Amino acid sequence: MAGPVGAGMGIGAFYNQALQKDFSRDFQMRVINIGPGGFIGKDDNVYITTATLPGYAIANQTVPFMGMGFNIPGSGNFPGSDAWSVTFRCDAQLNIRESVLGWQKSVFNAFPDEATNSVGAYGPKGIDTYVDLAVFDRDGQTVRGIKLIGCYPTVLGDIQYDATLNGNVVTMQVTLAYQWWTAQNSFSGNVIP
């Protein structure tokens, strides 16, 4: 009978590995730039409270033979590339919201009160429209970088206000779509301002 996962590794070995490799913490990722040419930059992105490091998947194909299903790898894809979300704290003047809204309207403008409704640059987005992500260590040095390629905003979330509360900071969710991501090693140095 097989032992539990990690069998053969005592507490001393676990502790030694923890000392050598440490652990990644939930606050050790930063969004460096968002948008065409990275126009939403570090000054705005300090308002981001949550974001995710995207994954990668290979589709499994089952080939049946004599009652068995043999698993073989199929094509790769980027799950969640149609809805990558970040949550911003709102600045007092709602400048970040206006930046995202202006970007959205440049992609497709359907505002009925404007002369330019139902127009925009709604073709595929190029490599100059991206999101840069950096995962950093406890010294603030980048250990891994990811670039989401060909992104654009799909949803600018509602902002909830409530005059009966105690002055909580309001947040907004922004959902972006992208084409694929790639490893990015150009974020050298300290990502913590």
CATH number at residue 148: 2.30.110
Domain assignment present for 15:
no
Tell me the helix, strand and coil percentages in the chain, rounded to 5.
Answer: 15, 40, 50
In a domain, 39, yes or no: yes
Cα separation of 103 and 35, whole Å?
Answer: 8
Within a domain: 191: no
Domain count, the chain: 1
Tens place of pLDDT for every residue, the chain, 193 residues? 455 555 567 899 989 988 888 888 888 899 999 999 888 988 888 999 999 999 999 999 999 999 999 999 999 999 999 999 999 999 999 999 999 999 998 888 876 665 656 667 777 788 889 999 999 988 888 889 999 999 999 999 999 999 999 999 999 999 999 999 999 865 555 555 4
What phi, psi does 7 have (nearest 5°)?
-60, 145
Give the structural domain span for 164. 24-183
* Residue pair 83/154 in contact by the 8 Å Cβ criterion: yes
- Is residue 156 included in any domain, yes or no? yes
Q: Is residue 31 part of a domain?
A: yes
Q: Where are the alpha helices (DSSP H) in 1-113?
A: 11-21, 42-45, 95-107
Q: How many residues does the chain have?
A: 193
Residue 189 lies in a domain: no
Residue 16 lies in a domain: no
Residue linked to tokens 């359907």? 110
Is residue 46 included in any domain, yes or no?
yes
